Amino acid sequence: MYVVIKHLTKLKTPQACHGKQLAQRARECFLQNECLTLDFEAVESIAAGFFQEAIFTLLTEFGADVLKSKLQVVNMSPALEAIMQEALTHVDEYVDRLMTRQQEVVDQELYDLNLAWLVKVRATARENALQASLIMGIADEELRLAVANLSMDEMQILARSGCLCFAPRFTPQFIQGFGRRRYDRVDLLLALTAG
């Protein structure tokens, strides 16, 4: 996908809301395993919030490796690059705004799901490292110890983050083939713990 930034808006200076729009397009692109090129030709000024809403959002969602391999920026002037660098150094302010926004509108089902998982994983991590790895997917010892020491207040804050606190443990191939054959419990366990 190729996005010309100056076509995102009629404004001379793209704003944070345009960064959100760009992040949505990029998300769709990355989920389809496509590359994205951002063309900043003829963009003379840009709001710092544009980069925070676009780049930082994608960075937290997909990670630096995906951005390095799937995102290309062209025709960015030194002035715009300086604005981007400055914007991304104020990550704490952005995260504070994001957390405030998310605490105002909490998806109750997501909160309940997160909290139930965090409570269960904390108990399992405290009792049995092997079960924490096999059953709950916490194979990293340092992470297991950190989760085991979470307080209820900390778990509630994490649950309220607005993001799912755990990820699927199966591969796309497993899910695609799931309806084609019958799996017994051992097959399911092996598929889920393969990572």
Nearest to 94 by CA among 53, 58, 154, 55: 53
Specify the pLDDT at position 182. 66
- Mean of the per-residue pLDDT values for the chain? 82
Burial 72-109 (b: 16+ CB within 10 A, else e): eeeebeeebeebbeebeeeeeebeeebeeeeeeeeeee
Contact partners, residue 1, CB within 8 Å, separation at least 6: 25, 29, 34, 35, 36, 37
Specify the pLDDT at position 124. 94
Specify the pLDDT at position 146. 94
What are 134-168's pLDDT values in tens digits? 888 888 999 999 999 998 888 888 888 778 888 87
Q: What is the pTM of this model?
A: 0.47
> Distance (Å, rounded) from C-alpha 124 to C-alpha 144?
9
pLDDT band at 103 (very low <50, low <70, confident <90, very high): low
What are 67-97's pLDDT values in tens digits? 889 999 999 999 888 888 887 776 666 666 6
Specify the pLDDT at position 180. 67
What are 1-60's pLDDT values in tens digits? 998 988 888 888 898 889 889 988 998 888 888 999 999 998 888 887 888 888 877 877
Domain boundaries, the chain: 2-101, 107-192
Of 3.20.20.70, 3.90.480.20, 1.10.4000.10, 1.10.10.10, which CATH number belongs to 107-192? Answer: 1.10.4000.10
> Distance (Å, rounded) from C-alpha 43 to C-alpha 121?
48
Specify the pLDDT at position 128. 92
Contact partners, residue 93, CB within 8 Å, separation at least 6: none
What are 168-195's pLDDT values in tens digits? 777 777 677 766 666 665 565 555 555 4
